[in-house]
C-alpha cells in the first residue's frame, strides 16, 4: 500500500469513516488523498440555490484544516449537489471518479459502504466500483468500504448490512481523528449523536474489541488483486 485515494460523498466522511487509519498509514509513509464528491450542507436549505454560500466555503476550509491533521496530502472538491446525486446521470459520476483514478493512480481506494442510508454514499460506492472495473491497464489493487457513523448503522434494510472483515489498529491515532473532527464546526455534534467525540471513541473501542485491540476502524474488503 503506497498510494491511497479516498472517495467520500461529503466533507467529514473522509474523516468519520477512516481518519485514524489514514493518520496511521501516513505516519508509516503512505501517501493519501481525498476526493469529496458532493458539496455538503446545501440540502439543509429549502432549495440548493437558497443555501448560504459563505457557509459552504467555510465547510471547505474546515475540510482542508481537518485534512492536515489527518495527513492527507491533498483534497479535491467535486461540488456535486448535496443529497441529490440520485438526480444526476450515473455515467457522469462514474467518469468523474475515473478521471481522478487516472490522475492520481492509487493502488488502494477507500469508499462508502453500498448499504448506507445516505443516497450519495450509495451512488459514490457504485461509481467507484464501476470506474474501477478490472479491465485494461488496471492499477487499483484493493478497494475497501468504510462505515460512516449516522448513516451505515441507520439503514434498517438488512439486505446490505455492513459486515467488516478488515480492521486497522488506531490506538495511537484515534486522538488525531477526534481532533480533526473538531475542525468541522457545522458537522460536529454532542453526545449521544454518532458524530460526537464520545460516540466516535465508543465505536473505535467496539471495533477494537471485535479483534482484541484497544481501538480500531473496521472495513469491508470489496476487492483485492494479488
Q: What pLDDT shows up at residue 185? A: 84
Q: In percent, how much of the chain has pLDDT > 90?
A: 83
3 state SS for 109-142: EEEECCCCCCHHHHHHHHHHHHHCCCCCCCCCCE
Alpha-helix runs per DSSP H in 3-153: 13-16, 19-27, 53-70, 90-104, 119-131
Q: What pLDDT shows up at residue 186? A: 74
Q: How far apart are the first and last CA of the chain?
A: 12
Q: 188 forms bridges with which residues in the sheet?
A: none
Cis peptide before 214 (omega within 30 of 0): no
φ, ψ for residue 223, nearest 5 deg = -165, 140
Q: Is 137 left (phi over 0), alpha (psi -120 to 50) or beta?
A: beta
**CA distance readout (Å), 216 to 5, 55, 99, 203, 225:** 20, 32, 32, 8, 24
Place of cell 460536529: 188
Cell numbers found for residue 177: 481523528
pLDDT, greater one: 205 or 47: 205
**pLDDT for 50 beyond 70:** no
Place of cell 492527507: 72
| Average pLDDT score over residue span 192-216 | 97
Neighbours of 172 (CB within 10 A): 13
Q: Work out the mean pLDDT of the chain and round it to a whole number.
A: 93
| Average pLDDT score over residue span 24-53 | 83
pLDDT in tens, 85-129: 999 999 999 999 999 999 999 999 999 999 999 999 999 999 999
Contact in structure between 218 and 210 (CB atoms under 8 Å): yes
3-class state of residue 159 by DSSP: helix
pLDDT in tens, 68-87: 999 999 999 999 999 899 99
Instruction: Compute the chain's Rg from CA coordinates.
Output: 16
Contact in structure between 123 and 85 (CB atoms under 8 Å): yes
Segments making up each domain of the chain, as ranges: 3-224
| Average pLDDT score over residue span 158-186 | 93
Q: What pLDDT shows up at residue 47? A: 66
Task: Write the CATH number of the domain with boundaries 3-224.
Answer: 3.40.50.10320
Q: What pLDDT shows up at residue 55? A: 86
CA angle 172, 177, 179 (to 5 degrees): 110
Amino acid at each position: 500500500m503506497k498510494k491511497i485515494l479516498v472517495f467520500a460523498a461529503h466533507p467529514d466522511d473522509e474523516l468519520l469513516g477512516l481518519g485514524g487509519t489514514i493518520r496511521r498509514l501516513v505516519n508509516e509513509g503512505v501517501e493519501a488523498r481525498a476526493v469529496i464528491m458532493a458539496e455538503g450542507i446545501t440540502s439543509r436549505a429549502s432549495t440548493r440555490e437558497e443555501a448560504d454560500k459563505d457557509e459552504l466555503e467555510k465547510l471547505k476550509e474546515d475540510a482542508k484544516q481537518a485534512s492536515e491533521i489527518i495527513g492527507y496530502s491533498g483534497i479535491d472538491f467535486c461540488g456535486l449537489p448535496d443529497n441529490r446525486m440520485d438526480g444526476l446521470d450515473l455515467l457522469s459520476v462514474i467518469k468523474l471518479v475515473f478521471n481522478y483514478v487516472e490522475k492520481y493512480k492509487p493502488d488502494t481506494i477507500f469508499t462508502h459502504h453500498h448499504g448506507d442510508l445516505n443516497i450519495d454514499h450509495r451512488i459514490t460506492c457504485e461509481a467507484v466500483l464501476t470506474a474501477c472495473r478490472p479491465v485494461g491497464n488496471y492499477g487499483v489493487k484493493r478497494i475497501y468500504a468504510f462505515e460512516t457513523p449516522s448513516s451505515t448503522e441507520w439503514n434498517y434494510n438488512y439486505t446490505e448490512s455492513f459486515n467488516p472483515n478488515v480492521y486497522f489498529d488506531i490506538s495511537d491515532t484515534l486522538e488525531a481523528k477526534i481532533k480533526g473532527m473538531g475542525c468541522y464546526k457545522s458537522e460536529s455534534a454532542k453526545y449521544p449523536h454518532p458524530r460526537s467525540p464520545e460516540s466516535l471513541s465508543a465505536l473505535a473501542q467496539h471495533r477494537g474489541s471485535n479483534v482484541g485491540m484497544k481501538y480500531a476502524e473496521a472495513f469491508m474488503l470489496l476487492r483485492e488483486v494479488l
